[in-house]
Amino acid sequence: MASGIRDKVVIIGMGCTPFGEHWDKGADDLIVDAFEEAVADANIDRDQIDAAWFGLSHDEQSLSKSAISLVQALRLPNISATRVENLCATGSEALRGAIYAVAAGGSDIALALGVEKLKDTGYGGLPERTKGTFDDMWYPNVTAPGSFAQLAIAYAEKHGISMDQLKEAMAHVSWKSHENGVRNPKAHLRKTLSKESIVRAPMISYPLGLFDCCGVSDGSACAIVTTPENAERMGLTGNLVSVKASQIAVSNGSEMSFGAWDGSYTQTTRIAAQRAYAEAGIANPREELDLIEVHDCFSITELVVMEDLGLSDEGRAWRDILAGRYDRDGDIPCNVDGGLKCFGHPIGASGLRMVYELYQQIQGRAGERQLVNPKQGLSHNLGGFPNRNVCSITVVGQY
């Protein structure tokens, strides 16, 4: 039986660029910026890294289809490097590759880096002319807001919630993100909004308004990982952050092909969460998680995911949100860095950005955002649509 990777790998350095519109920088510049912060944080030399995983989603827009761009931009010493892509879980997938290599003994010190350069592609959203033959046949007119709007309608119908109540709860999610983003000097959007302005914003896809939707950004984030034993030999014996769990669940077609799934939740999140809790030894996530970073591509996604992660009872997340349970001063602070909504969403970097916030918080280095003594946190990515997606969950905490 697989034993998992709990406490077999520690993060010794992380870096993250500001997310936003970097008209003056290319993707390779963003790679360098994130990497330089991580190397300085780890207090190691570049040539000590012996393997790398490179997360890049929209390759034709940014760099290339291989990991050559990463090795070349950083002048890494001809090490093994692998480029990965797994929709919005791309950054988390890069981290998973690095931590599994270290845990397996295949690497001493590994790098995971994600990047995306999307704001100067000429597209308002994601620069996708086609997603491939399958998607073009099954989803000829699909949009991300449209598919997640259906999630909202199904959730409200299943649980007997009025649309006014749901809109109020979704507005609180977005309001919270903007309140948190103001505290983050690296966030893309740093402006507070009133709940009234969020509710009255132009409609994008009913019931999702403009401020219920995240945008896309330019940015990069990275992590350097090794074993606890290597960290000790390197003299890194302080407040180490270790990986407790890394799990991915992928849709197998049941949601889009059969009637068992009612469209009101994300099935892969529920599966990945249970696997991650088991791997991390978490019996009660409501008591054992001090903060969370979740995939708030739309406000309804964050709301529904609170139930899928087992943090709210089914049909009760909207009430918990309105009660402030997930505010920065609530029981389980969520997206205290602003989330996708306000920190931004460069697809290949977002998963690593989430872990960056957990890492900073656990080490007590989050500045104005700092929470009181967090010890363990969870990050959650959801790439794709509610009925066909990739879900990644990572748990990190004090070693």
Kindly tell me the number of DSSP H helices and DSSP E strands found in the chain. 16, 11
214 is catalytic: no
Which candidate in 22, 188, 295, 345 is catalytic?
345
22 is catalytic: no
First-to-last alpha carbon distance for the chain, in angstroms, is: 24
Q: What are phi and psi of 191, to 5 degrees?
A: -145, 130
Q: Give me the helices (H) in 160-253, please.
A: 163-181, 195-199, 228-233
Residues 6 or more apart in contact with residue 131 via CB below 8 angstroms: 139
Q: What is the dihedral of CA 190, 210, 193, 316, to 10 degrees?
A: -110
What is the secondary structure of 180-196 as a DSSP string? HHTT-TT-S------HH
CA separation for the pair 119, 372 (Å, rounded) = 36
3-state helix, strand, coil in the chain (%, to 5): 40, 20, 40
Beta bridge mates, 47: none
Q: What are phi and psi of 159, to 5 degrees?
A: -105, 5
CA 350, 369, 358, 14 torsion-angle sign: positive
Write the single-letter amino acid at 58. Answer: H
304, 280, 355, 361: which is closest to 89 by C-alpha? 355
Which candidate in 16, 22, 88, 172 is catalytic?
88
Residues with active-site annotation: 88, 345
